[in-house]
Amino acid sequence: MRVAVLGAATGWHVRRLADALHADGHAATVVGWHDLATDIGPAEYHRPEAVDRAHVIVVRGMPAGTLEDVIFRMDVLGRLACRRRVVNAPRALEVAIDKYLTLTRLHDAGIPVPRTIVAQSEAGIAAAWAALGEVAVMKPLFGSQGRGIERIAARQDLEPWLEAARRAEPPGSVCYLQEFVAHPGWDARVLVVGDDTFTMRRVSTGDWRINVSRGARPEPWTAPAGWVDLAVRSARAVGAEIAGVDLLPTADGPLVVEVNAVPGWRGLETALGVDIAANIVAYLTRTA
């Protein structure tokens, strides 16, 4: 099987996947996003050649860029997906990277999520914060690993977003506010790989944002069947074959707070001692 891994050659996950593919006897080529090109003439080609010849393209992140850059890259990925398998599919990537869109898919699937209000106007943002009990979690619409997330528990902390909406031309600035759910010092990550799942707890070391990238400690954990079912349903709801699903424990049962279609698994490997990359390659092989 010829596989193109789309991502940064220096990335840990990219290297792990490429090594696992080679170890399993597949031809793996790492392709950087900036190297993607397309030629539309008498025939249609994509460059580098490894992309055009690949049976499977595995997506591992996308670098920052202008809106034009991102749209072109996703358009090319969508075009490639017409002729070969892309994991995860472009539409799944688009849904999962957008927190609002993800939440609507989860909600429609009957999956419990935190109450969330998205507003744009100064008055709408202030009203949303009040409706959430004057304590809420502010999240960027696009982002991961806990970056840009803040807990807004005082009016003065809300003021920068009100000011941004007030000063924008035309007026308005998108603001994603989610109810603050107190947790017992841990949350759960379930990695879904097709029908297989790998689970761990992430234990906070003091930060209310529980991310391994912020110092949370990964621990092996056997998730209840209901939690695993929620995670698998969440991955299906966004259309992802491979997804990292974050669940938060509450007195009324778990809430799904995040679905990542380009999930990391470094913490899982540390906690479980399992070669996740080899498992992903095995999944790609048996479903080729």
Least confident of 118-122, 180-184, 264-268, 273-277: 180-184
Q: Could you tell me if residue 172 is left (phi over 0), alpha (psi between -120 and 50 degrees) or otherwise beta?
A: left
What element of type H or E holds 38? strand 37-40
- Tell me the sheet residues that pair with 2: 27
Is residue 205 scored above 80 in pLDDT? no
Architecture per CATH, domain 96-111+184-275+282-286, reads as 2-Layer Sandwich (3.30)
Pick from 275, 242, 282, 276: nearest CA to 25? 282
Q: Are strands 150-152 and 44-47 parallel, antiparallel or unpaired?
A: unpaired
* pLDDT tens digit sequence for 168-197: 888 888 899 999 998 888 999 999 999 999
Query: Where are the domains positioned within the chain?
Result: 2-87, 96-111+184-275+282-286, 116-179
* pLDDT tens digit sequence for 86-123: 999 999 999 999 999 999 999 999 999 999 999 999 99
Token pair 């249609």 in the structure block, residue: 44
Chain centre distance of CA 45:
29
Cβ(235)–Cβ(243) below 8 Å:
yes
Q: What is the mean pLDDT of residues 132-151?
A: 80
Cβ(58)–Cβ(13) below 8 Å:
no
Least confident of 2-11, 54-63, 212-221: 212-221
pTM exceeding the 0.85 threshold for the entire prediction: yes
Q: What is the pLDDT of residue 28?
A: 97
CA-to-CA distance for 251 and 259, rounded, in angstroms? 22
**Which DSSP state fits 12?**
H
Architecture per CATH, domain 116-179, reads as 2-Layer Sandwich (3.30)
Q: What is the pLDDT of residue 41?
A: 84
CA-to-CA distance for 257 and 244, rounded, in angstroms? 11
* SS3 of residue 252 by DSSP: coil
Question: What CATH code is assigned to 2-87?
Answer: 3.40.50.20
* SS3 of residue 160 by DSSP: helix
